[in-house]
Amino acid sequence: MKQQLISRRTVLTACAGMTTLVASSPVAFSQTSQSEILRDGKITIGIHNQAPWGFKTMDGNVAGVHPDMIKAVLGPLGIKKVNFVIVEWPALIPSLMSKRIDAVASGMAITPVRCDQVIFSDPDLAIGDGAIVRAGNPHKIRSFEDIVKNERLRIGAGRGSTNAEHAMQAGIPKDRVLLFEDMQSSIAALAAGRIDADIESTATVISTVNDPNLKGKIERAIPFTGLIKDGREVRNFAGIAFRAEDSQLRDLYNLGLAKAKLDGTVKAIFARYGFTDAEIAPADATAKNLCPDNYR
């Protein structure tokens, strides 16, 4: 009996059909760019759902120091409608570059590596690294050095965070650093004894240890010495990240930020989230200084 009773042409046509089935799904081409954001007064912001940077509250609203900054700085420019998307921390920059969001407003520190991909506003906050430990600090962790010395200690940090980078630069071997996607995973790992300390920016540390749900389980390691470079403790300078081609929007944001710094708006926002004057980025810290080689 002849086996090939359904012809090759039928098979190939059907294959083409399958391809069309895949390709015909609703395709939309994103046009969002600075001119449209300014024209429509609408911007989509990515946050990583972490207090105090950018987070969803119990009642479903979005709060946080950088979402508030965006509203306070871009509002007067006519950008009144701010949409928020919660994105995993490691996916924030990919989302920005693939135009899923228009800016990252979630306490992202300005680093030369990130400057290769995206552009940053001038920083508003300068925050050191801190550690969360189990209640009573059983391993007496007071610095990165303490962790380096004790080979039994393992630490957790956010995947792709500057805090994790600093811990490794301080000499903690990679195999003792566990990287987590979000804060609740890090805290769960800490409580379960998988890690002995969680390294985060001090702002995250403070807001997390003050969470009423975690009372008595964890505490902030005080004092804590982070990475020392040139005799000074390294800090993370946080700013808003924009797409590389949206430099005009970034420049507008910087102008607005300078104005908001002068009239006290910025200070009021910082006070709302418990930041002190010591944590305000100094005037000489600009995105240009932090990324001297690849500032765009």
Residues that bind other proteins (CB under 8 A): 1, 3-6, 8, 11-12, 14-15, 17-19, 21-22, 25-30, 49-50, 55-58, 85-88, 91, 94-95, 97-100, 182-184, 187-188, 191, 211, 213-214
Smallest distance from other proteins to CB 239, Å: 23
Give the whole-angstrom CA distance, residue 282 versus residue 278: 9
Smallest distance from other proteins to CB 15, Å: 5
Give the whole-angstrom CA distance, residue 83 versus residue 80: 10
C-beta closer to other proteins: residue 88 or 219 = 88
The one-letter code for the residue type at 133 is V
C-beta closer to other proteins: residue 97 or 234 = 97
Smallest distance from other proteins to CB 126, Å: 25
C-beta closer to other proteins: residue 73 or 87 = 87
C-beta closer to other proteins: residue 50 or 254 = 50
Smallest distance from other proteins to CB 61, Å: 12
Task: Give the DSSP letter string of 80-145.
Answer: -EEEEEE--GGGHHHHHHTTS-SEEEEEEEP-HHHHHHEEEPPP-EEE-EEEEEETT-TT---BHH
Smallest distance from other proteins to CB 52, Å: 13
The one-letter code for the residue type at 110 is I
Smallest distance from other proteins to CB 122, Å: 28
Smallest distance from other proteins to CB 187, Å: 5
Smallest distance from other proteins to CB 123, Å: 25
Q: Which residue has the tokens 């944590």?
A: 279
C-beta closer to other proteins: residue 42 or 100 = 100
DSSP summary character for residue 281: P
Q: Which residue has the tokens 């903690």?
A: 172
C-beta closer to other proteins: residue 35 or 169 = 35
C-beta closer to other proteins: residue 13 or 247 = 13
Do 152 and 275 form a contact (C-beta atoms < 8 A)?
no
Give the whole-angstrom CA distance, residue 72 versus residue 77: 10
What b-and-e string marks burial along 221-259, b requiring 16 or more CB atoms within 10 Å of the CB?
A: beebbbbeeeeeebbbbbbbbbbeebeebbebbbebbee
C-beta closer to other proteins: residue 36 or 251 = 36
According to DSSP, the residues that pair with 109 across neighbouring strands are 238
Residues whose CB is less than 8 angstroms from the CB of residue 182 and which lie 6 or more positions away in sequence, other chains included? 48, 49, 50, 88, 89, 158
